[in-house]
Amino acid sequence: NIYADSKKASAWVAREMAKVINEKGKKGETCVLGLATGSSPKTVYAELIRLHKNEGLSFKHVITFNLDEYYPMTPDSIHSYHRFMRENLFDHVDILPGNFHIPDGTIPLAMLSNYCKEYEQRIIEAGGIDFQLLGIGGNGHVAFNEPGSLQSSRTRLITLDQSTRAAAATEFGGIHLVPKKAITMGVSTIMNARQIVLLAWGERKAPVIQQAVEGVVSEQNPASYLQAHPNTRFVIDERAAAEL
């Protein structure tokens, strides 16, 4: 789906998410959302908040799982994805406190592998992800699945690419302050979602979008794995579509 700008695109995505949330609610079932951070989803979250305030969209039966978190990272840090999610969505809607999950960047290293298995288990116990929102890194990463990530990968600790750390440098006040690692859902964790929407705005993303959509499926561009998913849509603005 190509839109003139990110605002129009985000309005469409938020409506699509609201549809899934409402359909599940009508059936008395929980709705499981996979959520992303970064600048791209901010406009979608703003629209979801608007739908909550103006149209009564309720999140009381919604359970969420976030894709990733820097490691190490404390939840109250201004750079944490916990804080991002509270500020951009959770503090403004009626989601129940125990119903959102974000990888915990404070887990001791020795316990991390078990923790990642438990995170996967919690997704399965919740019924699997109904709707997964994704962004894309300039190098094709989805969540923090950097180039080289296998299609079979699951939630794990990953070493961040230099280009990923460079992209976050301004936010952190210097590349040396960007964590070297992150906890991320795996490619196969993401591919198990029943519906996926990937967002990309601006000309900066045009080359990687072209590669992900029209290039060969390759671990060099993890977003290209999505070509094999039966219900994935890239929702992008005209500038990100410039090289298609």
Q: Are strands 68-71 and 181-184 parallel, antiparallel or unpaired?
A: antiparallel
How many residues interact with ligand GLP (rule CB under 6 A)?
13
Q: Decide: is 38 part of the binding site for ligand GLP (CB under 6 A).
A: yes
Q: What is the Cα–Cα distance from 124 to 118, expressed in whole angstroms?
A: 10
Q: Report the residue closest to ligand GLP, judged by CB.
A: 135
Rounded to the nearest 10 degrees, what angle do helices 42-55 and 81-88 cross at?
40
Question: Minimum distance from CB of 24 to ligand GLP (Å)?
Answer: 24
Spatial neighbors of 189 by CB under 8 A, at least 6 apart, are 120, 123, 153, 154, 155
Spatial neighbors of 48 by CB under 8 A, at least 6 apart, are 14, 17, 18, 57, 89, 93
Q: Decide: is 68 part of the binding site for ligand GLP (CB under 6 A).
A: yes
Q: Which of 6, 10, 40, 195 binds ligand GLP (CB under 6 A)?
A: 40
Question: Minimum distance from CB of 200 to ligand GLP (Å)?
Answer: 8
Q: Is residue 120 flagged as an active site residue?
A: no
Please answer whether residues 24 and 61 qualify as being in contact, where contact means their C-beta atoms are separated by less than 8 angstroms. yes
Query: Which residues, numbered 162-191, are part of the site for ligand GLP (CB under 6 A)?
Result: 164
Question: Minimum distance from CB of 35 to ligand GLP (Å)?
Answer: 10
Residues in the chain: 244
Q: Which of 144, 178, 189, 206 binds ligand GLP (CB under 6 A)?
A: 144
Query: Which residues, numbered 124-143, are part of the site for ligand GLP (CB under 6 A)?
Result: 135-137, 143
Cβ proximity to ligand GLP: between 164 and 195 the closer is: 164
Sheet with 62-66: strands ordered across: 2-3, 232-237, 196-200, 131-134, 31-35, 62-66, 100-101
Binding site for ligand GLP (CB under 6 A): 36-40, 67-68, 135-137, 143-144, 164
Catalytic positions are 146
